[in-house]
């Protein structure tokens, strides 16, 4: 029985830790598929986390917070899109600027609004669902039926996006823009417009990832609370070879690796704790090294599109 408790605890924690990474990774997949890399999603997540808390506190509903976080994510991403798509600036550099902008905006915004009250602010956050009353089943109950609504939304949108890439005209357009923008252009597609919109949508996902952290996993905002999860999301995208469903699964692997290190730490107190803490990052680095070998990177990733004259 102890093993069962251990296992279900491990998986549940893994899913909680994976959810924000997965949401951001789904968005980043879309963005990269269309040819735009955004290394600033960490900054977008932070703004999303802050806005979610602010609006949830003010409105009393975490759903309003989530909506606000998605809109804030889109607004942040519109900056990125304006610079890299319209002005054709270097994508990595712009992304780093976005990261710091998000870090600063969220921290400063929190101080101006809720920060004065300290950590004692009561945040009306999301609670885990209990679908069909099955959440109490052993092991699979909490995992399949007792997650946060956002977790199900993440899985559903990953599947929807994979289907979109595979079976819809829109998917073909997105892939064409990311692979051979010149060809897409001559087929009459507005390359920059498609890119712009996809980057905006990606920002919405990152904002939702931030909202998960601050209103579902925890109820509250602290500065820099994402702690590198935006970068893990980028690693997920690469390792999943730009497939949104795989990206969610890879995020789950990272999450479970993190949940496992947490538990191993207290089981083996004699081993230095640093050894365990690095586990998810080791998984990330190894995955990048492995992933880069069989690359399916969108051919025009990182390259601005200049309409031929």
List contacts with other proteins (CB under 8 A). 5-6, 9, 13, 16-17, 20, 107, 110-111, 115, 118-120, 213, 217-220, 222-225, 227, 258-259, 262-263, 265-266, 269, 273-274, 277
Q: For residues 163 and 275, which CB has a smaller minimum distance to other proteins in the complex?
A: 275
Nearest-approach distance from CB 152 to other proteins, in angstroms? 20
Q: For residues 112 and 290, which CB has a smaller minimum distance to other proteins in the complex?
A: 112
Q: Rounded CA gap, 170 and 14, in Å? A: 33
Q: For residues 110 and 196, which CB has a smaller minimum distance to other proteins in the complex?
A: 110
Nearest-approach distance from CB 227 to other proteins, in angstroms? 4
Q: For residues 255 and 291, which CB has a smaller minimum distance to other proteins in the complex?
A: 255
Q: For residues 19 and 191, which CB has a smaller minimum distance to other proteins in the complex?
A: 19
Neighbours of 107 (CB within 10 A): 17
Q: Please answer whether residues 297 and 288 qualify as being in contact, where contact means their C-beta atoms are separated by less than 8 angstroms.
A: no
* Tokens coding 267: 């089981």
- The rounded radius of gyration (Å) of the Cα atoms in the chain is 20
The residues near 261 (Cβ < 8 Å, ≥ 6 apart) are 276, 277, 279, 280
Nearest-approach distance from CB 188 to other proteins, in angstroms? 46
Nearest-approach distance from CB 79 to other proteins, in angstroms? 23
Nearest-approach distance from CB 150 to other proteins, in angstroms? 14
223: left (phi over 0), alpha (psi -120 to 50) or beta: beta
Q: For residues 74 and 154, which CB has a smaller minimum distance to other proteins in the complex?
A: 154
Nearest-approach distance from CB 6 to other proteins, in angstroms? 7
Nearest-approach distance from CB 244 to other proteins, in angstroms? 23
Q: Rounded CA gap, 23 and 64, in Å? A: 18
Q: For residues 202 and 225, which CB has a smaller minimum distance to other proteins in the complex?
A: 225
Q: Rounded CA gap, 97 and 195, in Å? A: 19
Q: What are the backbone dihedrals phi and psi of residue 134, each rounded to the nearest 5 degrees, phi first?
A: -100, 0
Tell me how far CA of residue 222 lies from CA of 20, 51, 52, 106, 209, in angstroms.
Answer: 16, 12, 12, 9, 15
Tell me how far CA of residue 164 lies from CA of 152, 179, 237, 245, in angstroms.
Answer: 18, 16, 17, 12
Q: Rounded CA gap, 142 and 233, in Å? A: 25
């Amino acid at each position: 029985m102890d093993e069962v408790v251990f296992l279900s605890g491990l998986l549940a924690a893994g899913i909680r830790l994976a959810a924000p990474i997965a949401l951001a990774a789904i968005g980043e997949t879309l963005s990269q598929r269309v040819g735009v890399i955004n290394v600033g999603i960490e900054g977008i997540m932070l703004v999303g986390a802050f806005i979610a808390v602010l609006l949830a506190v003010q409105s009393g509903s975490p759903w309003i917070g989530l909506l606000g976080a998605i809109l804030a994510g889109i607004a942040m991403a519109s900056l990125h899109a304006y610079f890299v798509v319209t002005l054709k600036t270097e994508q990595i550099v712009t992304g780093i600027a976005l990261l710091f902008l998000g870090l600063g905006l969220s921290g400063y915004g929190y101080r101006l609004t809720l920060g004065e009250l300290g950590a004692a602010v009561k945040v009306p956050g999301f609670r885990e669902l209990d679908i069909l009353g099955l959440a109490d089943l052993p092991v699979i109950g909490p995992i399949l039926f007792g997650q946060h609504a956002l977790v199900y939304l993440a899985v559903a949108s990953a599947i929807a996006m994979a289907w979109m890439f595979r079976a819809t005209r829109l998917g073909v357009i997105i892939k064409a823009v990311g692979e051979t923008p010149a060809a897409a252009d001559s087929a009459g597609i507005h390359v920059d417009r498609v890119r712009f919109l996809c980057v905006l949508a990606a920002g919405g996902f990152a904002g939702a990832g931030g909202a998960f952290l601050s209103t579902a996993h925890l109820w509250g905002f602290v500065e820099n609370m994402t702690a590198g999860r935006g970068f893990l999301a980028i690693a997920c995208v690469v390792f999943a070879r730009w497939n949104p469903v795989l990206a969610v699964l890879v995020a789950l692997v990272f999450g479970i690796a993190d949940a496992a290190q947490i538990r191993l730490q207290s089981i083996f107190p004699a081993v230095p704790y640093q050894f365990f803490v690095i586990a998810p990052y080791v998984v990330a680095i190894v995955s990048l090294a492995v992933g880069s070998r069989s690359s399916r990177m969108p051919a025009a990733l990182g390259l601005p599109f200049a309409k031929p004259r």
